[in-house]
């Protein structure tokens, strides 16, 4: 397992911020997953939140989505009947 200096990691992270994770990992010869892990670790240290997880739909929301779909279908039928 290869060890990287703190300075190298910081420069690699800066480069990945500028040109993107994939390009930076290719240019530096660092495994994509390794660089991605460094970014996650930095995020945690800085207290940044990751992308919010989508919460499951409530029963009410499911019901409203179903009703909305039924109304869309009914509207399509009415449009066809008018033509």
Per-residue pLDDT of 43-78, as tens digits, reads 998 886 655 556 677 888 889 999 999 999 999 999
Residue 58 is predicted with a pLDDT of 86
CA 83 to chain centre: 44
What percent of the chain stands above pLDDT 90?
Answer: 64
Q: How many whole angstroms separate alpha carbon 12 and alpha carbon 42?
A: 12
Dihedral-angle region of residue 29 (phi above 0 means left; psi in -120 to 50 means alpha; beta otherwise): left
Q: CATH fold of 6-49+57-82, please?
A: Arc Repressor Mutant, subunit A (1.10.10)
Is the separation of the CB atoms in 37 and 16 below 8 Å?
A: no
Question: What's the pTM value of the predicted model, to 2 decimals?
Answer: 0.55
Q: Could you read off the pLDDT of 5-58 as tens digits, one per residue? A: 999 999 999 999 999 999 999 999 999 999 999 999 999 988 866 555 566 778
Is the separation of the CB atoms in 14 and 23 below 8 Å?
A: no
Domain residue spans in the chain?
6-49+57-82
């Amino acid at each position: 397992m290869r060890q990287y200096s703190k300075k190298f990691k910081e420069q690699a992270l800066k480069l990945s911020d500028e040109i993107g994770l994939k390009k930076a990992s290719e240019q530096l010869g660092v495994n994509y997953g390794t660089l991605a892990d460094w970014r996650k670790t930095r995020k945690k240290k800085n207290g940044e939140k990751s992308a919010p997880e989508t919460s499951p739909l409530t029963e009410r929301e499911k019901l409203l989505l179903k009703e909305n779909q039924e109304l869309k279908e009914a509207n399509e039928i009415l449009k066809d009947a008018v033509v």
